[in-house]
Structure 1
Amino acid sequence: MAKTNLYVIRHGKTMFNTMGRAQGWSDTPLTPEGERGIQALGIGLRESGLDFNHAYSSDSGRAIQTMGIILDELGLKDQIPHQFEKRIREWCFGSFDGAYGSELFHGVIPRLYHITNYKDLSLEDLVNGIYQVDTAGWAETWEAVSHRILEGFTAIAKAVEVQGGGNALVVSHSWTIQTLICLLQAKANLNLPLPNGSVSLLEYEDGQFTVRSIGDASYRQIGEAIQKD
């Protein structure tokens, strides 16, 4: 049986990313720049010679759109099924979903914890802070969000493994990917480099994940160089 590798991709740049709005369970499409960046990623993955036999994304529109572009560039859109997994959605920001990120991260959260920089918090404290200030009752606790994310990615890895392993494309979201990696590495930091269209490689074997790379932008850069030619 081949090893199971998850190529976990952050979706392309969206309208809300560009506007600086908190984009959790709310959704906006990729911008033309975002589409071009993901096309470059698809080209880079194609040029790498990697074979992919599985495709998963969250059920958010921006993740679905991203996967569609990648599969098109790889020539796999009609070759492998694209499956949706809602457990790998982004964090829900509750009543702050769609609000300006600066209001939440540089205003409300620092005031709640009496700090200057929200990045001084652990992921757990940040999630629980969002839960506290959410007036809509939609945001999740750390226990809930960490459980669903780990459960979702584990379910994907097991499904790929059962089908013989190999390489799977998985499109998810910045905070979700950061949460997963921090859980796997028993770290709490808020500073993982995860640009749009970056790839984090996770290996799954004997029921355990191993993080092989984080936020790798090289595939996209290869594609961008080809786009310029």
Structure 2
Amino acid sequence: MNEPTTLYIIRHGKTMFNTIGRTQGWSDTPLTREGEKTILYLGLGLREIDFKEAYSSDSGRAMQTARIILQEHQNGANIPYNTDSRIREWCFGSLDGGYDGELWGVVPRILAYKNYEDMMTNSISYKELADAIITADTANWAEPYDKIRDRVWSGFKDIAYHREKHGGGNVMIVSHGLTISFLMSLIDNRLPMQIALENGSVTKLIYENGKFTIDTVNDTHYIDKGNAIFSTT
């Protein structure tokens, strides 16, 4: 009999761009020392979870996060690990790498809102966000909504289906804030946009017979647990 298939989806550790407030989609910077320390704690907090497989996006910050977690895991050397480009962050085109204020300054104006707070109060959709980013992108690199939806959904669902087909169990996945939030909206479209997931937070999904169920969102207790372990060693 199969075990339940559970995805532990982790937002990567805090990076240089996260720290100085720059937009980080397909652009990439490494984890800061603070970011590395937080992920080390996370790895200690997760070290006894029986992961059958591990995945990350192919972005450097996600791969760095996955490696740190696996290094701290009691069986990390034996957990199969692969990257998947489909679970990357959204691409922000010419806004990638710019300060957050540029992205969140122009997008509300395109959507006819006064500012970011006004836009979020009115609960815009992810499609509206994607369309606005395309309008703002002067390089024509940003992805259309349908392409983002198809790659993100197929990426996570294929990982879950593969694990269920091979007996179920726990899967560790390192991805990105907006991508994780977007995935949850595809599972339950009643959820508000949640683009402020904490670095190193865990969002847990259960997958059974082709259907995802959201268990926990933005859970940081594994970091706290690992910090306590680290403090006593």
Does TM, scored on the shorter chain, surpass 0.5? yes
User: Is 1:113 equivalent to 2:116 in the alignment?
Assistant: no
User: Is 1:184 equivalent to 2:187 in the alignment?
Assistant: yes
Unpaired stretches in structure 2, ≥5 consecutive residues: none
Aligned partner of 2:12 in structure 1 is 11
More deviation, 182-191/130-139: 182-191
Structure 1 runs of 4+ with >3 Å offset:
none
Aligned-pair distance for 1:192? 5.7
Q: Percent identity?
A: 50
Question: What is the TM-score with the length of structure 2 in the denominator?
Answer: 0.93
Unpaired stretches in structure 1, ≥5 consecutive residues: none
User: Is 1:35 equivalent to 2:36 in the alignment?
Assistant: yes
Q: Deviations over 1:37-87 (max 9, x none)?
A: 0000011112xx321110011010000000000000003342022111110
Aligned partner of 2:221 in structure 1 is 218
Structure 2 CA distance, aligned partners of 1:196 and 1:154?
23
Q: Residue 114 of structure 1 aligns to which amino acid in structure 2?
A: A
Structure 2 CA distance, aligned partners of 1:220 and 1:135?
39
May I ask how many residue pairs the two structures share in their alignment?
226
For 1:149-164, what aligned pairs fall within 5 Å after superposition? 149-164=152-167
Check whether the contact 1:193–1:214 (CA below 8 A) recurs between aligned residues.
no
Question: What is the TM-score with the length of structure 1 in the denominator?
Answer: 0.95
Structure 2 CA distance, aligned partners of 1:41 and 1:209?
24
Q: Residue 199 of structure 2 is aligned with which of 196, 199, 203?
A: 196
Structure 2 CA distance, aligned partners of 1:127 and 1:76?
40
Q: Deviations over 1:132-179 (max 9, x none)?
A: 111111101111111110111001001111221100000000000000
Structure 1 CA distance, aligned partners of 2:93 and 2:196?
25
Structure 1 CA distance, aligned partners of 2:132 and 2:75?
42
Structure 2 CA distance, aligned partners of 1:193 and 1:112?
22
